[in-house]
Amino acid sequence: FRPFKRFLGLANKYVGMMATYQFEDILCVSDKMNKVIEYARTVAHSTASILITGESGTGKEIFAQAIHNASERRHACFVAINCGAISPSLIESELFGYEEGAFTGAVKGGRIGKFEMANGGTLFLDEIGDMPMEMQIKLLRAIQEGQFCRVGGSDVISVDVRIIAATNKNLEEEIKENRFRLDLFYRINVVAIRLPALRERKEDIALLAH
């Protein structure tokens, strides 16, 4: 029998859940961007959670994929979820999966979530600043313990997942406004990477244009 993790890796390959970008794909000549790339290469080999911040369009997911591909987890899955694009009522089942009959419309046999898909690999939480407060505590618990239950289930599932989160929001301001949990911020902000906007690295404009 094949290990289930190997099956997930094969399935994710064909549904687009593999990281395709490498650091070599990031075009730049500016010192500012090269320093960010050099730092990201260094922390890629760590198992620590990473928070990537920057304005929309600065390439946060490209960096997340490049970090995954430079890490020891590169042969495992890279699974991305946009926390701001999923309705609050569905985000829990998307992250943790659900058992058959958990709610109206649930697929027969249940469904695994993004945490299980990313087991052994990397889970990329894009736009984490838009995650509802009630969901943040459940995410924090799953990250801290490496365990969770599917929606409607009672079996505890253990996973080994590296978290890379990204946001274009100032999470420290969000914390002051009680829209983001301080304990979750500390958990995901172990390593911080800020991507500069193009106006901060104008030397790269001609290269990117060509």
pLDDT at 14: 46
pLDDT at 69: 97
3 state SS of 30: coil
Beta bridge partners of 194: 53
pLDDT at 34: 98
What is the model's pTM?
Answer: 0.88
Pair 131, 94: CB distance under 8 Å: no
pLDDT at 110: 83
pLDDT at 47: 93
**Per-residue tokens: 102:** 């958990």
Residue 114 identity (one-letter amino acid): K
Query: Tens-digit pLDDT profile for the chain (210 aa)?
Result: 566 656 655 555 444 467 899 999 999 999 999 999 999 999 999 999 999 999 999 999 999 999 999 999 999 999 999 998 888 888 999 999 998 766 666 667 788 899 999 999 999 999 999 999 999 999 999 999 999 999 888 899 999 999 999 999 999 999 999 999 999 999 999 999 999 999 999 999 999 999
